[in-house]
A and B are shown apart, each in its own frame.
Chain A
Amino acid sequence: MRLGKIRKLYFPFTRASIQSTLMYSVNMIFFSLSELLYCFVMFYVWKAVFAASGGDDFMGFDMQDMFLYLFMTNVTAYLTMSQADSAIAEEIKDGSISMRLLKPVNFNLSVLFKDIANPMILFVMVFVPMTVCIEIYRGVTAGMVMFQPLNCLFYLLSGAVAYLISFYMNMSFGFLAFYVTNLWGMGILKKILLKFLSGAVIPLAFMPTVLKNILAFLPFASLSYTPVMIYIGKYSITEMLLNFGLQIFWLLMMFLLCKLIWKSAIKRLCVQGG
């Protein structure tokens, strides 16, 4: 497909989505505020841990690393958040999916271009201000500029791939609505499992070796752990390339999984009324 055609066909989806999301920007600010509270709790818990351990090293992390890890994981969760699953499930439930199917556009791409408005808005509204605050705090406590532009660049690259993995993962999950009538409970379970599997609560580096190795290989680590570790500067060049390669691998797998589910699910589609 030519780029010009993509732009003409799909950019309107993004534009419309940006407009409707901005209408709820106040909601979003409150939401991010309440999530931020959790980071502060953890920040103080870690401070107490470092105070109790006497040293400034906890399994290879110092307080600065821990601070960055907590807050960057929070920011990354926003950037890579995809709402494709609830959007799809809603359309399947109320039958409006038929409108999307009637249009001469690729189904997955049209959802993607609608969904991508999320990270775009959150990049401006959450990522930029948060990172600035984080870096100012870091600079002040360390007494020098700690910001690493190169790490930040690689972080964004890795974060973009993470978003795409998250998107295809959520699409596949959303297609479950073809088979299950009520996705609500499953949605909560998914959210909580992801939080754990992606290392958002406990950094994977702290987990028992066997568990750590398994989780590091699974696609969930690609969602936030990999980009965050790149930002903190915990990876050597080789590790970074390896993990980035793993991210690409999982992106392909998720893309294929999504296609596969779609192929079998679309045969079951039965829209009532309309």
Chain B
Amino acid sequence: MKKTLKIYRLLLVQNIKTLMEYRIDFLTGALSFIIDQAVGIGFIFIIFSQIPQLAGFTLEQIVFIYGFSLIPKGLDHMFTDNLWSVGYFIVQKGDFDKYLTRPIDPLFHIIAEKFQIDAAGELIMGIALVCVSAGAANVVFTPLSVLFFIIAIIFASLIYTAIKIGTAALAFWIKVSGQITQVFYMTNEFAKYPTTIYSDFIRTVITYIVPFAFTGYYPCLYFLTGENPLFNIGGVVAVATILLLIALSIWKRGLKAYESAGS
């Protein structure tokens, strides 16, 4: 464990050095993610200029859900962004061999290799929105709810990571799986709004199949209403754990099935 942490720290330092090389790129990247979310919030404000409530939620509550959903998304984006490269080109180009020859776990190596600072845009925006809206949205912070908040954020991030690991691993069989990851990943857009606005079919899909509803709406429902912590918070932990186990087993099988594509 100590060795792993040391390796992670060394790789991180290397990463930050390369970031300094492309400083402008980093700034424009982070700025774009902030603008993107700001436009999303502008949209919510325009809607609420015409209506008092959306699906029974006030403006501040919707902003809280929206902001909350950005935090796990940003965390996963920051720490595991390299998983995209597995599905898009690492396996296809035959570059995956490199990871198999090192004396550390390939999955850990892939993840540790890239630290995506651009995600700071999403994280800053998400935290700011949660802080600004929490008061007016009647979120009560007790020691217990703060603990639940931290747990929910960590496990919600793992839902993202698990979906990326599971779909990236498909590349071991089909060489390129980036688009499949993309389709699954885009489903997270549904997490930003109350699931009650969707049809039953969509609600079932985002709760039980691609469970992004647990990265936004469900945990927020607990913080906003105090209702049903077993499902709303426990669900996040359960879903993330199950999903991660499935993803890791796909990854393991994939490693066995992997044949180098390079020459």
Chain A residues in the interface with B (C-beta under 8 A): 26-27, 30-31, 33-35, 37-38, 40-41, 44-45, 47-49, 51-53, 58-59, 180, 182, 184-186, 188-189, 191-193, 195-196, 201-202, 206-207
Which of B36, B39, B53, B185 contacts A52 (CB under 8 A)? B53
Would you call B197 and A185 a contact (CB within 8 A)? no
Which residue of chain B lies nearest to A45 when distances are taken between CB atoms in the complex?
A: B193
Q: Is the CB of A188 within 8 A of B29?
A: yes
Interface string of B162-205 (1 = CB under 8 A from A): 00000000000000100110110111011011000111001000
Chain B interface residue count, Cβ-Cβ cutoff 8 angstroms: 40
Please tell me if the beta carbons of B189 and A37 are within 8 angstroms of each other in the complex.
Answer: yes
With the chains together, A48 CA to B43 CA distance in Å?
14
The dominant DSSP class at the B interface is helix
Question: Which of B32, B43, B50, B186 is within 8 Å of A38, CB to CB?
Answer: B186
A27/B54 in contact, CB under 8 A: no
Candidates A27, A44, A201; contact of B43 at CB < 8 Å: A201
Contact A49:B54 (CB < 8 A) given known A37-B186, A44-B198, A185-B25: yes
Pair B28/A185 contact, Cβ less than 8 Å: yes
> Do B32 and A188 have beta carbons less than 8 Å apart?
yes
8 shortest interchain CB distances as A-B pairs: A30-B179, A185-B28, A185-B25, A34-B186, A48-B197, A189-B32, A52-B51, A185-B29
> How far, in angstroms, from A201 to B44 measured CA to CA in the complex?
11
- Which B residues are in CB contact (< 8 Å) with A180? 24
Smallest CB-CB separation from A33: which chain B residue? B183
Q: Is B182 a contact of A47 with CB atoms below 8 Å?
A: no
Using CB atoms, name the residue of chain B closest to A48.
Answer: B197
- For B50, give its contact among A41, A45, A58, A184 (CB under 8 Å): A58
Other A-B pairs beyond A37-B189, A188-B29, A189-B28, 15, CB < 8 Å: A26-B179, A30-B180, A30-B182, A31-B179, A45-B47, A45-B54, A48-B197, A52-B52, A186-B28, A188-B28, A188-B32, A192-B32, A193-B32, A195-B39, A207-B46
- What is the minimal beta-carbon distance from A98 to any residue of chain B, in angstroms? 26
User: How many angstroms between the C-alpha atoms of A44 and B194 in the bound complex?
Assistant: 10
CA of A186 to CA of B25, assembled, Å: 7
Please name all residues of chain A whose beta carbon is closer than 8 Å to the beta carbon of B51 when the two chains form the complex: 49, 52-53
Asked whether any CB of chain A lies closer than 8 Å to the CB of B136, the reply is: no
B157 to chain A, nearest CB (A): 21
Is A30 touching B202 in the complex (CB atoms < 8 A)?
Answer: no
Tell me whether A196 and B39 are in contact (CB under 8 A).
yes
Asked if B190 and A201 make an inter-chain contact with CB atoms under 8 angstroms apart, the answer reads: no
State whether B183 touches A206 (Cβ < 8 A): no
Distance from A21 Cβ to chain B, minimum over Cβ atoms (Å): 15
**What is the bound-complex CA distance between A187 and B198, given in angstroms?**
33
Shortest beta-carbon distance, B218 to chain A, in Å? 17
Q: Which residues of chain B in 191-225 are interfacial with respect to chain A, using CB atoms and an 8 Å cutoff?
A: 192-193, 197-199, 202
